[in-house]
Amino acid sequence: MIIDLRLDGNKHSHIELETAKPIREILKGTDIPAERILSYKIDHVQYVNNEYVPAQNTLVDCISYNHPEGSRIYHDSVIFILAKAVNSLLGAGHSLVIEHSIGDGVFCEVFGTQSWTAQDCQRVKEEMQKIVASDLPIDKIRVKTGEALEIFSTMGRKDVIKNLQYSFSEEVFVYRCGKYYDRFLRPLADRTGMVREFDLVYKEPGFVLRFPTGRECRLAQPFVLPEKLFKLHQEHDKWLDILRVHNTIDINKLIDNYDISKFILVEEALHEKKIAEIAADIVKHPDVKLVLIAGPSSSGKTTFAKRLSIQLQASRAKPNVIGLDDYFIDRDKTVRKENGEFDFESIHALDLEYLNRQLTQLLDGEEVELPHYDFTRGMRRRSNNILKLREEDVIVMEGIHGLNDELTASISANRKVKIYISALNQLNIDNHNRVATTDCRLLRRLIRDHQYRGYTATETMLRWPSVREGEENNIFPYQENADHMFNSSLTYELGVLRKHAWKLLLSVPTSSAAYTEAQRLLALLGTIKDIPDTLVPYNSIIREFTNGSIFRY
């Protein structure tokens, strides 16, 4: 039999075997460092650890931390070790909750204690280091649902029990390390010793569990907490406390009790209130004539800009929307990536000198002709679109570089306001399984790309890592430059997105490298019930992705 060996999806070598062997035995004859491999993907379909490969021609993809899926395995494995450490030190009377991403980690809280201190963080960190040093096996085992209920009842895990009670499966998978059990939807590493680096940083009322980054899997030093973003997360968390919704099971109960429509209206009202507050603050400063909106893919920037424009008009300001895409330089002059492809996400793909000259002229009261970019020909041409600002006029520009001061270097700070928008989801499946913000944005993009661009789910998912790389380089480093931040996430949105994304994800073939990711997203969507589109207001940000919006795009 022939083993098609790959590393992080890239072709590596072909190995001919006479008999089946454990995967790590196969790797001994290669230059792939087994100690850096977190899991193995067989024929694109399932993750395994050190099992024997089937006695047939097989594709074995070695997944390291550098692969997006490997990064998730590493993160969840660290969370598993953290949960085991907290359980060992504090017992079943305490609850560890993984709340939301922040910086290079996740913010966590421990409930059931009178207070949480920096000393508590240090104790937990030392216990985690002992668990890692012991290189304990993490076993994935299949148990009867009734047995799982007994296990997690003994551990005081009401959050897991509620989900299991909604499950119709006779058996479920759980992870075991010694006498500690936990439940994760995603795969974990098979030993605690595979987690090399992590850190705990005290941040009242909890702490940040940090993960390593980069190809060398190292912790960035020093740690810098994005304070504005953290404040936005904490504000949203307070609203969830008031609404008593933190897990997908809470949304399901609202659906079952016919209370979901009221919940949707409250969440949408909170969005509108926040947008109105931002508009009122802009109008309060008469010198401000330029509004810059930036955020990662599928954050709902376009709908936000339209709703903000309405609120500006309600405050007696007249918005003029200018598209940054019309300021691209000619395609033959566009910068390229290392692989030779055009880098349209680079700030230098824009004609910054021309943009700043026109903005300066407009703010000085001059009349200008705005450009129009012909994407078919890859060059700018005349538009005959003339603009001159009046006293009540403001310019609204939306694009990924809005928070980067290099974009509008010629405009003084008192004349512009920068707004960061992102879908900062804080909904969990249970205390240890959170719904990642990137997953919500990916689901939004899957649906929009299919409906408006004709892309398949496979195409969008394979393109997603490149999109994320552009965000890491061009958006996230500048998010703390924002004067205002807006969370476009809606706690109920998974229930709306579910039916739109379900068939798309099912269409991903088993032969695709995106298959396991599609199955992971299906498992995520399987934790929540459908919410009819008819309950979603026509100006909702969700309508930008599912269709039926009152706005034109």
Encoding tokens for residue 187? 């795969």
pLDDT of residue 337: 82
Are 374 and 301 in a shared domain? yes
pLDDT band, residue 318 (cuts 50/70/90)? very high
pLDDT band, residue 20 (cuts 50/70/90)? confident
Digit-coded pLDDT (tens) for 151-174: 999 999 999 999 898 777 889 999
Cβ atoms of 91 and 419 within 8 Å: the answer is no
Total structural domains within the chain: 3
Listing DSSP states for 450-496 in one string gives HHHH---HHHHHHHHHHHHHHHHHHTGGGGGG-SEEEE---TTHHHH
State the residue range of the domain holding 11: 2-64
Check pLDDT > 90 for residue 133. yes
In percent, the amount of the chain with pLDDT more than 90 equals 76
Nearest one of 365, 493, 378 to 427, comparing CA atoms: 493
pLDDT of residue 16: 85
Which residue has 């390291």 as its token pair? 64
CA distance 525 to 175: 21
Encoding tokens for residue 239? 């609203």
Are 76 and 57 in a shared domain? no
Average per-residue pLDDT for the chain: 93
CA distance 144 to 257: 29
CA distance 40 to 58: 12
Q: Exposure string (b/e) for 370-389, b if CB count within 10 Å is 16 or more?
A: bbebeeeeeebeeeeeebeb
Check pLDDT > 90 for residue 380. no
List the CATH number of the domain containing 18. 3.10.20
pLDDT of residue 34: 84
Is residue 331, in this structure, part of any structural domain at all? Answer: yes
CA distance 530 to 482: 35
Are 270 and 164 in a shared domain? no
CA distance 480 to 294: 12
DSSP 8-state class, residue 326? G
Q: What is the pTM of this model?
A: 0.91
Residue partners of 120: CB distance under 8 A and separation at least 6: 110, 113
Residue ending a domain, among 225, 248, 270, is 225
Are 271 and 221 in a shared domain? no
pLDDT of residue 52: 78
Are 59 and 116 in a shared domain? no
**Helices 227-243 and 260-283: crossing angle, nearest 10°?**
140
Check pLDDT > 80 for residue 83. yes
> What is the arithmetic mean of pLDDT over 91-102?
91
Is residue 490, in this structure, part of any structural domain at all? Answer: yes
pLDDT of residue 56: 81
Are 391 and 441 in a shared domain? yes
Q: Is the dihedral of CA 444, 429, 213, 221 positive or negative?
A: positive
Low-confidence winner among 129-138, 377-386, 392-401 (lowest mean pLDDT): 377-386
pLDDT band, residue 483 (cuts 50/70/90)? very high
Encoding tokens for residue 399? 């694009």
DSSP 8-state class, residue 137? B
> What is the arithmetic mean of pLDDT over 105-116?
92
pLDDT of residue 148: 95
Digit-coded pLDDT (tens) for 34-63: 888 999 999 988 888 878 777 688 899 999
Are 328 and 411 in a shared domain? yes
Are 60 and 204 in a shared domain? no
> What is the arithmetic mean of pLDDT over 281-290?
95
Phi and psi (nearest 5°) for 438? -65, -30
Length of the chain: 553
Digit-coded pLDDT (tens) for 345-375: 899 999 999 999 999 999 999 999 999 998 8
pLDDT of residue 364: 95
Digit-coded pLDDT (tens) for 524-535: 999 999 999 999
Q: Exposure string (b/e) for 423-456, b if CB count within 10 Å is 16 or more?
A: bbbbbbbbbbbbbbbbbbbbbbbbbbbbeeeebb
β-pairing verdict for 290-294 and 416-422:
parallel
List the CATH number of the domain containing 535. 3.40.50.300
Is residue 551, in this structure, part of any structural domain at all? Answer: no
DSSP 8-state class, residue 332? G
Is residue 319, in this structure, part of any structural domain at all? Answer: yes
Radius of gyration of the chain (CA): 25
